[in-house]
Amino acid sequence: MTRSDASVLRSLGRLRRPAVRRRVRAAIAEELLGAPRSLGVVLAFVAFMLAVGVGYYAPTAGDVPVPLWPLYADSAVAVALGGITLVSLIPTVRRGDRVTDAPVSRALAYLHTLAFVWLVTFGLWPLVSLNLAFSQYVAAPDAWIYYWGVLGTHLCFVGLALLFPAFGRTTRGALAVALAIAVGNVALDYGLGYHPPLLYDPGPQLAGATLAIAGFAVWLAWRSFPRLGEGN
């Protein structure tokens, strides 16, 4: 093993420490979100993903009761929540303050938690849903969009969500609400049949996997976010 390899391994080992992970997350969040120009670029990318998501769900939304649209349009809603979270940072960034010093409140804690859980859940969901019918998706005429494009953009959801604990907070109530909505969403999608458009009919396997991913997302939020009222 070379000296550089040993140095890399030591650096990776340090990431096991929560304090080190918080500093790394804060530095990345400041780099990507801490200046008006960079925040604007991220917001523009989020707006693009939202437009794509709305376009994906719009053709079939007429078959779903309007009150259920927020739960039906899973990915689009996740991106919208992420966008609202980023918009809440604009006053802080315009003042020249650090992103990590953004104001916190109970309402924002609920927003941050739900946005995080939805982005992680539906960022990881295509890894299961598309690969359960891998041959159908990679054989589709536009496979580079419907498989590789979807996987790539949805993994960006997870990357965005992982920045939120740098400036956000959570509460037990927010975590409980996020979990309850996630369970209700699975029941709606796979119990009542209002699941996102797919090239196949999903069964219990996808329903169970979605519930497991949602549970993981709530657990990750619990581990990642500081509690409201606590310091950094």
Cβ 141 vs Cβ 174: under 8 Å? no
pLDDT at 3 (0 to 100): 52
Q: Range of 151's domain?
A: 18-224
Average pLDDT of the chain is: 88
pLDDT tens digit sequence for 134-144: 888 877 777 66
200 versus 100: the higher-pLDDT residue is 100
pLDDT at 74 (0 to 100): 92
pLDDT at 162 (0 to 100): 95
Q: Provide the number of structural domains found in the chain.
A: 1
Q: Distance (Å, rounded) from C-alpha 1 to C-alpha 6? A: 7
Largest pairwise CA distance in the chain: 61
Q: Distance (Å, rounded) from C-alpha 196 to C-alpha 191? A: 13
pLDDT at 128 (0 to 100): 94
The confidence band for 203, taking pLDDT boundaries of 50, 70 and 90, is: confident
pLDDT(99) > 90:
yes
Assigned domain for 229 exists = no
Q: Name, in order, each residue with C-beta under 8 angstroms of 129's C-beta and a sequence gap of 6 or more.
A: 196, 198, 202, 206, 209, 210
pLDDT(21) > 90:
no
What's the average model confidence in pLDDT over 98-108?
94
Range 30-43 burial, b when 16+ CB lie within 10 A, else e:
bebbbeeeebeebb
pLDDT at 98 (0 to 100): 93
Assigned domain for 211 exists = yes
Assigned domain for 10 exists = no
pLDDT tens digit sequence for 116-154: 999 999 999 999 999 998 888 877 777 667 788 888 999
Assigned domain for 2 exists = no
Partners of residue 227 on adjacent β-strands: 170
- Global pTM value: 0.89
What's the average model confidence in pLDDT over 34-51?
95
Cβ 160 vs Cβ 95: under 8 Å? no
Q: Name, in order, each residue with C-beta under 8 angstroms of 57's C-beta and a sequence gap of 6 or more.
A: 72, 73, 75, 76, 196, 197
3-state helix, strand, coil split of the chain in percent (to 5) is 75, 0, 20
**C-alpha distance from residue 218 to each of 90, 117, 141, 170, 171 (Å):** 26, 6, 36, 11, 12
Q: Distance (Å, rounded) from C-alpha 145 to C-alpha 74? A: 18
Assigned domain for 69 exists = yes
Assigned domain for 7 exists = no
Assigned domain for 198 exists = yes
Cβ 188 vs Cβ 194: under 8 Å? yes
pLDDT(12) > 50:
no
Cβ 159 vs Cβ 107: under 8 Å? no
pLDDT(4) > 70:
no
Assigned domain for 192 exists = yes
